[in-house]
Amino acid sequence: MSRIMADHNTEVKARAKTLVSQMTLDEKISQMLYNAAEIPRLGLPRYNWWNEALHGVARAGIATVFPQAIGLAASFDAGLLERIADIIATEGRAKHHESQRQGDRGMYKGLTFWSPNVNIFRDPRWGRGHETYGEDPYLTGRLGVAYIKGLQGDHPQYLKAAACAKHFAVHSGPEEVRHSFNAIASKKDLYETYLPAFRDCVIEGQVEAVMGAYNRVNGEPSCGSETLLKQILRGEWGFHGHVVSDCWAIKDFHEHHHVTSTIEESAALALNNGCDLNCGNVYLHLKSAYEQGLITEQTIDISITRLMETRIRLGLLDDEKQVPYTSIPYEVVECEEHLACARLAAEKSMVLLKNQGILPLKRDAVRSIAVIGPNADSRQALIGNYCGTASRYYTVLDGIREAVQPGTRIYYAEGCHLYKDRVEVLAEPKDRFAEALSVAERADVVVICLGLDASLEGEEGDVSNEYASGDRKHLQLPGLQQDLLETIHATGKPVILVLLSGSAIAVNWADEHVEAIVQAWYPGAEGGRAVASLLFGDSNPSGRLPVTFYRSVEELPDFCDYSMENRTYRYMMQEALYPFGYGLSYTTFQYERVDLAKMIYEQGQSVHLNILVKNEGKYAGEETVQLYVKALDASFRTPNWQLKGFRKVFLKPGEECLVSFCLTDEELALFDEEGAAVVEPGVFEAYIGGSQPDSRSIALTGRSPVCYRFEIQ
């Protein structure tokens, strides 16, 4: 930390303490709820802490709507995430200050954004998995840090906005029982899988806030956990920011977890273990808890001081002229530059899962296209959840219409409802099948858009669906979608399947029968343009799967089992339908080994790996170079292999570049059964290529990653 930054932090702490010392007990408590009250005599305006920015400024009107978080993760591009977060902070600042000038200090108008969600997407049934960066701790950590740095900015005195890593810590469903559920995690799984991304966000990202989860972890409610909040977050990691509860999570202590008996005991448990801010109303009872001797005013002072420090760092208590970000004009909101970045992000998020040579489509050869499916012209399938409002949306149908040559006929049919057996309530089942068949028969090629939307996967209490409180019961296409796909395929016309979803779908039949499959996620307001760009070859797909696509739900462990055994690519025993890290390109990248400088290293020495990557195909494109590491002779249970590095390289046909990686003790450490990070002497293998080194990835891509073997003594 620089001297200037250290001096500033000391000044902020002193200023916050002075401010708190002037407050009465009632005034202090009034500042510890998300809708903090005004204190006129201290010049403290009211402030609502609750704001969201998962993939754009959310729930506050017009903003640039980027692809959903899981789609951003598929880009494997930390630089892109940082740029997007910087745009979100820019728009957040512009909207915040304009709202203030209009006298609006309500919810979703502040600068404390409760993002990113860095939980591990351990099970594809979890409805909120599309809010995360996928199943891998390393990828999640890298992208989480990039997002935080972009959102918070690099000014030596002021935060551009305040990020919040959530939901700390072992949280990934089931949604239906999240208010009473006890997630049991071994120390190994805790430190190897569930904590690393949060650790990265705290230590490297310097995140300003951390939000606790609803569930218990090993018996302790997350928002009042001594283990998580005191021992690990503040003790082991030295976190100095503030902790906020998930919304109304503290009342679960006595109502659902039954670890306390009264609302005062719940408030005390949370506060005494370091939860500073209550999203909810339990902290209204802190005065009563104080009078009962359950908490001290000194403990209140510690928490309220942290909250004042955040507001000071944001410049919320300073004259606007002192704060550089107050001059950002409202006109930046959803400007052309930001929309261009949203479209680029959508293009980079697309994953080409299958291509039998039909893609890219040639505009002059295709004179008619049938665009079919419940997600073909759906705005809902663009936006995911926790989203803002765009002034214009481009569905897949819109994007294709815009992209074709004049005179090309575009037919459209909804085909079926997303999950019901008919579109019109009074109609007979399959009421749109005949129309879909008619347009398919008249077209040169069919683009069928299937999948999910946030009404089928999402947060408990936030969705109404055929599934369980936002979670999914199975991995198949819902409703009549599979039937529609097979019916259209039977026409004999070439079929391109575009999947819009936030999680893995078991498209086993499609993998065997259709000509091409594109995973488009929830691609944002510009998403339809990005899909069309990929279909016609204006962009070359470079997205890679941040989650495993399994073949069926039957091969998964019980949803409530938080052991990582047989979960995700790191521990799964069966072959995936589409593996983590997989994705195709329109061009061919060749990897050429560069020999290691030496084969044997001492502990503490860095292992430097180089690889030559060459574009041997006909199209310019971006390659996602991936590095996986495996310990061959560890003395305890270890993953199959683990992602420990990735790079994005853009190469024109015939162009090549040298890509370098450095493995330190941090990347080579393995976690034993007690959760301790250990660099054991032994032989390691590192694999560098465009995918994992598993047999399914090799079969799908036709290429094996380059293997390097070295020894640590």
- Give the integer Cα–Cα distance in Å for 144 and 149: 9
- 53 and 117 part of one domain: yes
Residue 6, pLDDT above cutoff 70: no
* Residue 514 resides in a domain: yes
- Give the integer Cα–Cα distance in Å for 692 and 518: 20
Confidence of residue 467 (pLDDT cuts 50, 70, 90): low
- 616 and 538 part of one domain: no
Instruction: Give the bridge partners for 601, in sequence order.
Output: 712
**b/e map of 28-39 (b: 16 or more CB within 10 Å)?**
bbbbbbbebeeb
- 69 and 218 part of one domain: yes
Q: What is the pLDDT of residue 676?
A: 97
* Residue 14 resides in a domain: no
- Give the integer Cα–Cα distance in Å for 558 and 317: 50
Question: Catalytic annotation on 457?
Answer: yes
* Residue 32 resides in a domain: yes
Asked if the bond preceding 174 is cis, omega within 30° of 0, the reply is yes
Q: Which of 91, 208, 457, 515 is catalytic?
A: 457
Q: What is the pLDDT of residue 4?
A: 61
Query: Any idea what the CATH number is for the domain that residue 410 is in?
Result: 3.40.50.1700
* Residue 492 resides in a domain: yes
Q: What is the pLDDT of residue 476?
A: 97
Q: Quick one: CA torsion of 226, 232, 237, 239, rounded to 10 degrees?
A: -30
Residue 54, pLDDT above cutoff 90: yes
- Give the residue numbers spanning the domain of 692: 589-712
- 319 and 398 part of one domain: no
Phi-psi region of 279 (alpha: psi -120 to 50; beta: other; left: phi over 0): beta
- 213 and 181 part of one domain: yes
Residue 644 CA: distances (Å) to CA of 74, 204, 589, 655, 665: 16, 16, 21, 26, 11
- 249 and 110 part of one domain: yes
Q: What is the pLDDT of residue 8?
A: 78
Would the pTM of this model clear 0.95, i.e. be above it? Answer: yes
- 154 and 284 part of one domain: yes
Query: Any idea what the CATH number is for the domain that residue 624 is in?
Result: 2.60.40.10
- 598 and 554 part of one domain: no
* Residue 27 resides in a domain: yes
* Residue 8 resides in a domain: no
Question: Catalytic annotation on 52?
Answer: no
- 213 and 351 part of one domain: no
Instruction: Give the bridge partners for 516, in sequence order.
Output: 355, 496
Question: Final residue of a domain: which of 298, 332, 366?
Answer: 332
Q: Which of 86, 246, 252, 672 is catalytic?
A: 246
Mean pLDDT of 677-692: 96
- 35 and 65 part of one domain: yes
* Residue 96 resides in a domain: yes
Query: Any idea what the CATH number is for the domain that residue 183 is in?
Result: 3.20.20.300
**Tens of pLDDT along 534-588?**
999 999 999 999 999 999 999 999 999 999 999 999 999 999 999 999 999 999 9
- 706 and 560 part of one domain: no
Q: What is the pLDDT of residue 469?
A: 80
Mean pLDDT of 166-174: 97
- Give the integer Cα–Cα distance in Å for 301 and 388: 36
pLDDT cut 70: percent of the chain above it? 98
Question: Final residue of a domain: which of 313, 332, 351?
Answer: 332
Q: Is the dihedral of CA 253, 259, 264, 268 positive or negative?
A: negative
Q: Quick one: CA torsion of 322, 325, 328, 330, rounded to 10 degrees?
A: -110
Residue 463, pLDDT above cutoff 80: no
- 448 and 514 part of one domain: yes
* Residue 490 resides in a domain: yes
pLDDT cut 90: percent of the chain above it? 96
DSSP structural state of residue 629: E
In the chain, how many domains are there? 3
Question: Final residue of a domain: which of 332, 362, 390?
Answer: 332
Mean pLDDT of 422-447: 98
